[in-house]
Structures are given as C-alpha cells and as structure tokens.
Amino acid sequence: MMYVFTSSANHLEPGRAYSLFAARTALRHGGDYGECARALWQDGYRAEQITATLIPPRSATAASFQTPVISAAPVPPAPQHRYLLTSEISRVSPIQSWIWYGMVRRGAATMMSAHPKCGKTTLISYLLKSLQDGGEFLGLTTQPARVLVLSEEDGPTIAERADIIGIGDHVGWYVRPFTTRPTMTLWKEWVAQTVQDCIEHRADILIVDTLMRNMPIRDENNATEIDDALLPLWKLMQTGVAIIIIHHLRKGGGAEGTGARGSTALMAWPEITMELSRTSPDDLDCTRRTLRSHSRFTQTPSEIIIELGDEGYTVCTSVRDSEARGVHTAIHSMLSDRGEWMTHHEIASAMGKPRQIIESHLSQMVAAGVLSRSGSGARGDIHRYGI
C-alpha cells in the first residue's frame, strides 16, 4: 500500500492509503476502475490472481506452523485471440473527445503547416489562451485544457508573448531542451519522461513547435526516418493526450492537402492536417489567413478564413461558408416541410448530393444545436435527424 501524507499530490487524497491499482486508476484514468482494468488487460496484464492460504497447524506451538502455500484463485478464461472484437473496443463520447472541436481530439494527432513568419505560433498562442477556461476559438468550441509545449523559442520571447496575449499557468513550457538535434535514443528517453510530466501536469495536449527543430529527423524526405521519430509519440496518445505538431509548407506549395514539406509519410501520420496561408499571398501586410483542413473526422471544417486584430482572431465569411449555409438552410427547410425524421441516406437522395457531404453537414448542424439526432448509429439503430 502507498500512504499519501502530502496535500499537493495531484489526483491523490491526503490521509488515504492506495493500492498500486487504485493509485494508477486515480492518476491515469480519473478514478474509473473499469477503464483502468480494461487498459491493463489490453497492455497484457492477464496473469492469474494469486492468493495465500495458510495450512492449519498440527499442534498449538508456534514452531509447528507450516510455510504458507500459494495457490491460484479461479479466474475467468482469457480470450484466445490477440485482437479486439468490435464490442470490446472502448468508446468515448464524441463531445468529450474534442478539446478544440473538429481540430484537436484526445488521443489523436494534428499537424499545422505554414510558411515561415505566416503566423503559426501566433495562432497557437491564442488557442492556448482560449484553452484556459474554454469557450470558443475561430468559431469552434474549446474545452478547458492543460498543455505542455516543446518550443524552439527562447524564454524571454515566450514570456513577452504570454504577457501580451494572457497565457496562464495551465501551460507548461519546454524551453529549447535540446542544445543540438537529439539522437533517436535521447528523443525516446525524452518522450518517456514526458509521459510522466503529462500525468503530473494533468496535460491534455502536447505541442511540438516546430517538428524539424526538435525531433531526430535529418532527412525529412525519408519515410522510414519520419516513422521512427513519430512512433514514440503513440505512447502519449495512448494515454489520451492530443498531439499538435507545427511544421512548414514547401516553398512552392502543393496540391490540396499535400503542401507540407517532406515525405508523404509525415502527412499520412496525423488524423488532422491544417495548412495556414495568407488569404492574399502577394500582400505581405494582409492580416487575413486561410486555414484549410483535411481530416478523418466529419466534424473538421474544410476551410476557415480568419483575421487578426487587437483583440485576437475573428472569423470572416468564405465562399465555402456561404455554400455550407445554403446546404444547411435547404436541409432545415426540407425536414420542416416533411415533418418527419430522416436518415442521412434519405436526405442525400432527396437533395441529390453525395452521402459523405450530407453526413458532414448534418454533424455540423447537430453540433450547433440546429438539428436533433436519434439512434446510436449502430446497425439496426441508424441515426435519424429532425427539427
């Protein structure tokens, strides 16, 4: 047992004794013993439970007591497969999983790329401010979150920006921890220590700003080297921490979704990629930026146009926004006129649009509270949408 004397141990109550299992549950799983048990099972902790049984003495003398015999207690038979069935995979509420709705998700990776001095760090800094209390950033909901940032900037520069924007102690900074490009061994050790830092800081997000300055990558066009450097970060994401990687665009850009510099393995790794660029590329004084995204999730907006002012960023109207509003209006009118709940297949067929596009718009409308959704989404209980 571990007894807690101090009142400054995060997630642990003073004056209480914890077993190893109870301490792990409190520190890593928010007190959810079922979630902790499932995580241990998936990590391979499946040995039989052992209990001690004392054989009764033959006489009343203390010397006659025999050595305790260890016997295995009966446990349910373990599955004979190494994989998880669909029903065995843990579920997370979509609302709880998004830290920045559509853009940053727990246990997932996001990569934002832009040309140098285009405003990557400024955008992230205002996001950090929004995460202190939660609310809205770039028109998308944010949840209160704690963050660790691996920064290439020096301390005075970070402090000055934090004072101007108003970034609090919900953010911790690794200020240039590597004097030279780290080796793979050093990088793996650093990530392993960061797992513990995330537990102590109760961090929800780790930001790496920028990729090439802090990771052991010498050739960003080498897919194997990219994969080897990014693989250790899976350990962090398995604990539920979101990863944000800041990177650079190619000089000449690229086709939609392929503008990031380096191997395609880098662009394939994150669940969400964002590309930040000047809305008017030839105007260096332009304060408007276009943020284009590609994602595995339907909740991610494909394009946002933003403008930086004295009070931070505001969202501007784009052509895609106008088109989206037109689709939303048409869906709302159709459901109102029919007065019945419909599946996304029925709505897409009635509107003559691809099912995937309509499903994305429906998710946005549900998130905004414009539509209601019934059903679990499972086979036999498909989602239906109504007013």
Q: Are 214 and 208 in contact (CB under 8 A)?
A: yes
232 lies in the same domain as 157 = yes
| Distance in angstroms (rounded) separating the CA atoms of residues 159 and 340 | 56
- The alpha-helical segments, DSSP class H, found in the chain are 20-28, 33-42, 94-97, 120-130, 155-165, 184-201, 211-214, 223-230, 233-238, 264-268, 319-338, 344-351, 355-367
Distance, CA of 16 to chain centre? 32
Contact at 8 Å (CB) between 113 and 273?
yes
Q: Is 116 helix (H, G, I), strand (E, B) or coil?
A: coil
Classified as helix, coil or strand, 336 is helix
Residue 66 in any domain: the answer is no
- Distance in angstroms (rounded) separating the CA atoms of residues 142 and 102: 10
Of the candidates 242, 211, 210, 243, the residue with the CA atom closest to the CA atom of residue 229: 211
Q: Is there a single domain that holds both residue 126 and residue 16? A: no
Per-residue model confidence as pLDDT tens digits over 146-176: 999 999 999 999 999 999 999 999 999 999 9
Domain that holds residue 34: 1-41
Cα–Cα distance measured from residue 172 to residue 198, given in angstroms and rounded to the nearest whole number: 10
Please check whether residue 131 lies inside any domain of the structure. yes
* Residues 193/171, Cβ–Cβ less than 8 Å: no
Is 86 part of any domain? no
Give the C-alpha separation, 310 to 44, whole Å: 53
Asked if residue 85 is part of any domain, the answer here is: no
Answer whether residue 164 is part of any domain.
yes
Residue for token digits 């990219």?
226
DSSP H helix total and E strand total for the chain: 13, 19
375 and 262 in one domain? no
Q: In this structure, is residue 132 part of a structural domain?
A: yes
Q: For residue 334, what is the domain's CATH number?
A: 1.10.10.10
Going residue by residue through the chain, which has 387 residues, state the pLDDT in tens, using 9 for 90 and above.
888 888 777 778 887 888 888 888 888 887 788 888 888 877 777 654 433 333 344 444 444 444 444 444 455 555 567 888 888 777 766 656 899 999 999 999 999 999 888 899 999 999 999 999 999 999 899 999 999 999 999 999 999 999 999 999 999 999 999 888 899 999 999 998 998 899 889 999 999 998 888 888 888 888 888 888 888 898 889 888 999 999 988 776 555 556 677 788 888 889 999 999 888 877 778 888 999 999 998 889 988 999 998 889 999 865 566 567 778 888 988 998 888 999 988 999 998 888 878 888 898 888 878 889 998 888 788 899 998
CA 351 to CA 207: how far, in whole Å? 41
Do you find a cis peptide bond into 290, omega within 30 degrees of 0? no
**252 and 128 both lie in a single domain:** yes
Per-residue model confidence as pLDDT tens digits over 41-54: 777 776 544 333 33
Note whether 149 and 218 are same-domain residues: yes
DSSP code for 180 = S
* Pair (178, 245) in one structural domain: yes
The four Cα atoms 344, 350, 354, 355 give a dihedral, to 10 degrees, of 10
Q: Is residue 48 part of a domain?
A: no
Whole-angstrom CA distances from 206 to 147, 173, 284 are 6, 10, 31
Same domain, 227 and 337: no
**Domain match, 263 and 203 both:** yes
List all residues 6 or more positions away from 214 whose beta carbon is below 8 Å from its beta carbon: 150, 152, 178, 182, 208
Write down the pTM of the prediction. Answer: 0.62
Number of domains forming the structure of the chain: 3
132 and 199 share one domain: yes
End-to-end CA distance of the chain: 55
Q: With 0-12 CB in 10 A as exposed, 13-18 as middle and 19+ as buried, what is 371?
A: buried
State the Cα–Cα distance between residues 42 and 69, nearest whole angstrom. 30
Q: What is the CATH number of the domain that holds 129?
A: 3.40.50.300
* pLDDT value at residue 252: 62
| Claim to verify: residue 185 and residue 333 sit in the same structural domain | no
Q: At what angle do helices 319-338 and 355-367 cross, to 10 degrees?
A: 90
Residue 286 is predicted with a pLDDT of 82
- What was the pLDDT predicted at 65? 40
